[in-house]
Structure 1
């Protein structure tokens, strides 16, 4: 089964955009690992894949993905957050819904969501640090690239 040229992926459209997103994710998190846990048929034209995504937070990934402090106060907080997160292995649970057109037998939608908030809150311990981490992030708490 192949994809339509205008396949929808979260907030982007097209095979090129889908490939670009994954290229960026793998550059930002070079040690990413995605594991399929379960595949469930939802309708005749869609399945949901339950997945576990694991990343390791390196200092470069923390600075390139999350932390762009603007003030001295933010730099101090960011330093504290880097200390807490650097080297941490983050295990996130999520799902990907694949939808296809039965007439063309092609994938027309790939919609993913991953819970980044739960494991990061367990490490950080408070919502203020979490909010600071995502205040200028290039990725959402749902593990989607910011446009």
Structure 2
């Protein structure tokens, strides 16, 4: 997902910064913050697996791709997490998280599934397995898909 975010940021001329953060549980496992200069995806890095972290990032990228409202949280936490972003920018960027509805979450989750499936498929096709059965299965899947 880091590569997808890098390429998507280049395509949009607006970088996507991935910010690993130990987050309180229960609570969100990921947040997307939109600013005029960059997007920030904050994701749970404590007590979760790398695969789950990839899924969290993909879900937040799904919100970004669907142009949903970006996330909201309290100012003190964001100042501690991103001291270089002025509080008024944080407040504007984070307004509306509590208004997320089930439709936004389903849409982000669907996009996350497509992103993850596409990246795994591309990895399998560009890194052939060593066994003849693995190579045959990968060949059957077709050509790699351009992620962007």
- Give the number of the structure with larger relative contact order, counting CA–CA contacts within 8 Å between residues 6 or more apart: 1
The structure in which a higher percent of residues are strand is: 1
Answer 1 or 2: which has greater helix percent: 2
TM-score range, shorter chain: under 0.3
- TM-score, length-normalised on structure 1? 0.27
